[in-house]
Amino acid sequence: MLITLSVVIPVYRGEHSLPSLVQELAKLSQPNLSPNGIDYVVQEVLLVHDCGPDYSDKTIEDLAEKYSFVRPIWLTRNYGQHPATLSGMAASISDYVVTMDEDGQQIPNDIGKMLDMALTGDFQIIYAQPSNPPPHGLIRNTLSTIAKKTALKLLGIRYHSGVFNSFRLIDGEISRIIAAYCSDGVYLDIGLFWVASRIGYCPVRLREEARPSSYTFSKLFTHFWRMILTSGTKPLRLITIAGALSIVLSLLLVGYAFYGKFIAKIVVEGWTSVLVIIAFFSGLIMVSLGIVAEYLAITMGIVMGKPIYIVSSKPTRPAKK
């Protein structure tokens, strides 16, 4: 059976880097064999124009005229990488969807290896896991790793064997479902985790970028903050936990005061009662805020479009070891 693929590329500053990338993808637009001997073909390349500062629009038009498999998607303004990627996923028609960056550091030939892993392990999503450091510099790479692992560990996301990446291979049905449900402000990978339970990681190597990165530290921080806000209610529960600990502290101080006055027969300073009152009522306030925050989180989940269930056209089996 021939597996079809849609490649989605959000384009912001791809005027010079896109032609060589699409030329590489053109080799995959004819039936190919993956390393494991699976027949696959890139059925379409969806170039989503995200209204960047260069003449990417002209480049996309030229590529669409040159290659029959290139499909342009024209956004009305700059929406950002994740919304642009979602628009391409919504327009895809293939068995699997591959998302890539425009800068050329991701290698199209790795798609076959990612497809092998998805089919062999029955995974719904395969993330590329770079085996070499991304070409961004030590500080940015370190901060990026910390940010992603914060989401994976601290926020309770259960996929812990790797970190997510913009180079992904996604079951086509999953990608179109999440494109329908995701609303403004939702971090794309968090949205994917809403509906997928079988996540794999494929080792790949990255090349040097064909152009400087468009992401400043402020944009990266904005991405990280959006990831925090859409990851779930666990950070909000920290407020409730901190409040409960404050109440426990006040009770311990009361016990200390009673022990000192009635058993140890020592003078208890006046600040003890003040500290008890502050700790107790501060704890009550924090617990109350935590409860209110939980209600707000439920409301936010509804507003973001988080589905309560998803019906699939095929059975969901455990991922193979």
Mean pLDDT across 33-59: 95
Phi/psi at 9 (nearest 5 deg)?
-125, 110
Expressed as residue numbers, the domain containing 279 is 234-304
Residues 78 and 181 in one domain: yes
**Quick check: is 239 in a domain?**
yes
Domain count, the chain: 2
CB 287, CB 244: distance < 8 Å: yes
**Quick check: is 77 in a domain?**
yes
Question: Mean pLDDT over all residues of the chain?
Answer: 82
Residues 138 and 256 in one domain: no
Residues 240 and 217 in one domain: no
Split at pLDDT 50, 70, 90, the class of 183 is confident
Per-residue pLDDT tens digits for 247-274: 888 888 888 788 877 787 777 666 677 8
Residue type, 80: G
Residues 187 and 238 in one domain: no
Residues 112 and 261 in one domain: no
Instruction: Give the integer Cα–Cα distance in Å for 187 and 176.
Output: 16
Q: Please, what's the b/e burial string for 215-235 (b: 16 or more CB within 10 A of its CB; e: otherwise)?
A: eeeeebeebbebbbbbbbbee
Residues 102 and 51 in one domain: yes
- Regarding beta strands 96-99 and 70-74, do their DSSP bridges make them parallel or antiparallel, or are they unpaired? unpaired
Place of tokens 């901060």: 143
**Quick check: is 318 in a domain?**
no
Query: What CATH number is given to the structural domain containing 39?
Result: 3.90.550.10
**Quick check: is 149 in a domain?**
yes
Residues 94 and 39 in one domain: yes
pLDDT of 160 higher than 50: no
> Left (φ > 0), alpha (ψ -120 to 50) or beta: where does 37 sit?
left
Residues 73 and 209 in one domain: yes
**Quick check: is 314 in a domain?**
no
**Quick check: is 319 in a domain?**
no
Query: Can you give the pLDDT at residue 217?
Result: 62
Burial class (CB in 10 A: 0-12, 13-18, 19+), 263: exposed
Residues 155 and 282 in one domain: no
- Label each residue of 149-189 as H, E or C: HHHHHHCCCCCCCCCCCCCEEEEHHHHHHHHHHCCCCCCHH
